[in-house]
Amino acid sequence: MNLEDVKVVKTLLTEPKEIVIIPHKNPDGDAMGSCLGLYHFLVNSGHHARVIAPNDYPKFLKWLPGNESVIIFEKDEKKAVRHLKKAEIIFTLDFNHFDRTGQMKSHLESATTDFVMIDHHQEPQEYARVTYSDTNMSSTCEMVFNFLEVLGAADQISEDIANCLYTGIMTDTGSFKYASTTSRTHQVVAKLIDCGAQNTEIHRRIYDNNSPDRLRLLGRALKNMVILEKFRTAYITLEQHELDEHNFKKGDTEGFVNYGLTLEGIHFAAIFIENREEGIIKISFRSVGDFSVNEFARSHFNGGGHTNAAGGRSEDDMKGTIAYFESLLKGYELNLNA
Ligand code: 5GP
Ligand code: MN
């Protein structure tokens, strides 16, 4: 963030304001952690703040402090629109394109409010009065920490804020193992623990909360895995009937895609999950090294994300989607074997 932007934000926040904070659709730990971390800070500073999520998020995030105050747009549109209408500032966190907000998109496009974007994805859209965008950052939560620091508010990080921000840094770095994890990330995390973040407890709440159904669904996913050694690629499919047989709940497939990368020599992993209700196959991509799944998802599956973690969608059925995916790999054979 440059000094000019810091000044603008400080001016915007001088008086108590009506503020809305928005994560991307299908919010993950970083999206909810950053929104709720910022929420606690703003409320503690005397503002009227609300987090409005485009749609619901998994149970393993529902313990986050402030969870009960979150408005889910898809469930409570009237209330959400009321808050959006009176908002004087809208923070958009962990995304950089209105397309990522589902049904909220048109409301955001027509808003004349000042937007503040804090985000670490590539190619930000220009909609914000203040854009704090840095693709080198491990997580939006780490950026919210920086944001509070430049506002001179590092000493106002409460236990609740620390727990929220720790959660997003932990989930977006794969528990501090991805290449985006820097010494600065560890310094931030150390400070958050000093502010009261319960690191062991957070890890347990996020990762050690399997239902028997979810664990068995993972078993099915691993059985379905196809390994294409020639392309250093492994992919998983899950069809709607398989999800139904395991009483699928939102969030149950979180992290499954990463198993492909635990295979020796595999550099590219994907998971294809049928969503009959939306009539799409939702896809997640992961890679290690230089192969950009962001570009792959953008070019072929109407998606995007980061170099090593991205997502997209297909409107074809599973068979057609997989055939298309496999047909694309030939063109990437050299990159994948580099
Ligand atoms: P995941 O596979 O965990 O859903 O997402 C991985 C990364 O890709 C996240 O940073 C997420 O925001 C991004 N991403 C996932 N799906 C989409 C999509 O459909 N479009 C775009 N632009 N980004 C996505
Ligand atoms: Mn993130």
Structure tokens at 39: 């929420």
Q: Where are the alpha helices (DSSP H) in 27-76?
A: 29-44
Residue 141 CA to residue 32 CA, distance in Å, equals 9
**Residue 119 CA: which ligand is closest?**
2
**ipTM over cut 0.90:** yes
Query: Which atom in ligand 1 lies closest to the alpha carbon of residue 312?
Result: 19
Q: What is the structure's pLDDT at 35?
A: 99
Residue 12 has pLDDT above 90, yes or no: yes
Nearest CA to ligand 1 atom 8: 310
Q: Rounded to the nearest 10 degrees, how much is the dihedral formed by the CA atoms of 79, 84, 166, 308?
A: 110
- 117-154 pLDDT, tens digit per residue, is 999 999 999 999 999 999 999 999 999 999 999 999 99
Residue 28 has pLDDT above 90, yes or no: yes
* Structural domains of the chain sorted by starting position, each given as residue range(s) with its CATH number in brackets: 3-207 (3.90.1640.10), 212-336 (3.10.310.30)
**Residue 285 CA: which ligand is closest?**
1
* CA distance readout (Å), 50 to 40, 55, 204, 226: 10, 15, 27, 44
Q: First CA to last CA across the chain, in angstroms?
A: 35
99, 100, 285, best to mutate for ligand 1 pocket (most atoms within 8 Å of CB): 100
Q: What is the structure's pLDDT at 157?
A: 98
Q: Specify whether the CB–CB gap between 282 and 311 falls below 8 A.
A: yes
Which residues place a Cβ less than 5 A from the ion ligand 2? 30, 94, 140, 172
Q: What is the structure's pLDDT at 338?
A: 86
Q: Determine what percent of the chain is predicted with pLDDT higher than 70.
A: 100
Question: HSE of 43 in the Cβ direction (CA atoms, 13 Å)?
Answer: 17
Of 142, 184, 185, nearest to 29 (Cα)?
142
